[in-house]
Structure 1
Amino acid sequence: MVPLLLVLLLVLVLFGAGFALKVLWWIALIVLVLWLLGFVTRGSAPGGGRSRWYRW
């Protein structure tokens, strides 16, 4: 009974990790698209230069 529970626990952990990694890949892709759109849509600064849309 214990080996069966250990195998089921391992399957559950691996399934959870795979799902979490897939979600993190989608979040990273969305952030990348927003970051690239920021370079395209940024406006001009009052001094004539290009302004940054991020704070750092």
Structure 2
Amino acid sequence: MLKWALIFLVISLVTGFLGFSGVSAATATIARILFAIAIIIFLIFVVLAFMAGSAIV
């Protein structure tokens, strides 16, 4: 997921540099959404890991 967010970020930067502001804004929004989803999934897994660790002890 983070890989795709990074890819869309690079596409956004390149298209912004070339002057395609509409495409740049769209890909930046997609990258931001993918990054947010990745962070949420990461936090869920961290909470699950702590819960599993406390269940074992």
Give the structure, 1 or 2, with the largest relative contact order (CA under 8 Å, sep 6 or more). 2
> Comparing both structures, which one devotes a greater share of its residues to helix?
2
TM-score normalised per structure 2: 0.65
Residue 29 of structure 1 is matched in structure 2 by 47
**Could you say which structure has the larger radius of gyration?**
1
Q: Which amino acid in the other structure matches residue 56 of structure 2?
A: G
1:6-56, CA deviations, whole angstroms, 9 ceiling, x for partnerless residues? 0001000000000000001001100100001111xxxxxxxxxxxxxxxxx
Unaligned runs of 5+ in 1: 40-56
TM-score normalised per structure 1: 0.66
Report the identity percentage: 3
Runs of 4+ residues over 4 Å off in structure 1: none
